[in-house]
């Protein structure tokens, strides 16, 4: 039988951290608590968690920097926790590679549900990697998107992209000219209802457009009032 999945809880509020631990332990997760950024980075290396719950306002190294350092070498799922509810803070967290963002105070049942959903999605991605290398590759003129190695080759150069951006681009490009609502994209890419916060999709589309320009053969297209599509055009 497989061992318990491990959750690293990083929060300087001991009461909140212990409450989170209580709920996760009831769901049969193995947990570890640290209260500052430096300890988070140190324990991360030895504990090797399956997911990190990361508070932003930490003494010393803040949560943003912790996320940045972990993302520079690993794709371990990260859910950011913060009392900061401004759009800027959410956008920054997502741009740094966080998989989710929850505002404090949060409902403990929702937190557990999101933890399970993120872990489910990551497990599905790993298990779906087929031996056939072309099963997870989409090709267009000057653009190759691969989920085999999570790479995007654009105009002959590999782009630096977080996993979520690659998954979103692949999903749209693998179904050209089909329009998807923001809610559908949330469900397909994030694997659950993202508390109705469709701005998450807009943030990722915006970041993709900053890295990939419209091509004569394809483009990321906004369908006003509906959502987005990857438009493939004849040239």
At 107-133, the pLDDT tens digits run 888 899 889 888 887 665 554 444 444
Break the chain into its structural domains and give their ranges. 6-127, 133-232
Buried b (16+ CB within 10 A) or exposed e, 157-179: eebebbbbbbbbbbbbbeeeeee
Which architecture characterizes domain 133-232 according to CATH? Orthogonal Bundle (1.10)
32, 56 Cβ separation under 8 angstroms: no
From the CA atom positions of the chain, what is the Rg in Å?
18
DSSP 119-133: HHHHHHHHHT--SSG
Model pLDDT, residue 190: 75
Mean pLDDT (whole number) for 72-94: 79
Three-class SS of residue 235? coil
**Which residue's entry shows tokens 């988070």?**
40
Q: Domain 6-127 is classified in which CATH homologous superfamily?
A: Response regulator (3.40.50.2300)
pLDDT attached to residue 124: 57
Instruction: For residue range 150-162, list pLDDT tens digits in order.
Output: 899 999 999 988 8
Residues 93, 202, 117, 84, CA torsion sign: positive
* Choice among 45-49, 108-112, 210-214 with the minimum mean pLDDT: 108-112
108-113 contacts: CB < 8 A, separation 24 or more? 108/19, 108/20, 108/23, 109/23, 110/195, 111/20, 111/23, 111/53, 111/79, 112/23, 112/24, 112/27, 113/192
């Amino acid at each position: 039988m497989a061992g318990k999945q491990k959750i690293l809880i990083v929060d300087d509020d001991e009461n909140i951290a212990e409450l989170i631990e209580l709920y996760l332990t009831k769901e049969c997760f193995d947990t570890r608590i640290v209260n500052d950024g430096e300890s988070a980075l140190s324990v991360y290396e030895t504990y090797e968690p399956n997911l990190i719950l990361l508070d932003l306002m930490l003494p010393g190294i803040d949560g943003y920097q912790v996320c940045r350092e972990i993302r520079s070498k690993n794709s371990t799922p990260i859910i950011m926790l913060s009392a900061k509810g401004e759009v800027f803070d959410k956008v920054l967290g997502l741009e740094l590679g966080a998989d989710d963002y929850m505002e404090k105070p949060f409902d403990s049942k929702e937190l557990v549900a999101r933890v399970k959903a993120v872990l489910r999605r990551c497990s599905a991605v790993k298990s779906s990697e087929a031996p056939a290398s072309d099963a997870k590759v989409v090709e267009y003129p000057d653009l190759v998107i691969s989920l085999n190695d999570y790479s995007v080759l654009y105009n002959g150069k590999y782009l630096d992209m977080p996993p979520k951006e690659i998954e979103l681009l692949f999903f749209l490009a693998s179904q050209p000219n089909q329009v998807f609502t923001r809610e559908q994209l949330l469900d397909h890419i994030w694997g659950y209802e993202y508390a109705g916060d469709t701005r998450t999709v807009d943030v990722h589309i915006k970041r993709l457009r900053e890295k990939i320009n419209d091509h004569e053969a394809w483009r990321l297209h906004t369908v006003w009032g509906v959502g987005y599509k990857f438009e493939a055009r004849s040239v």
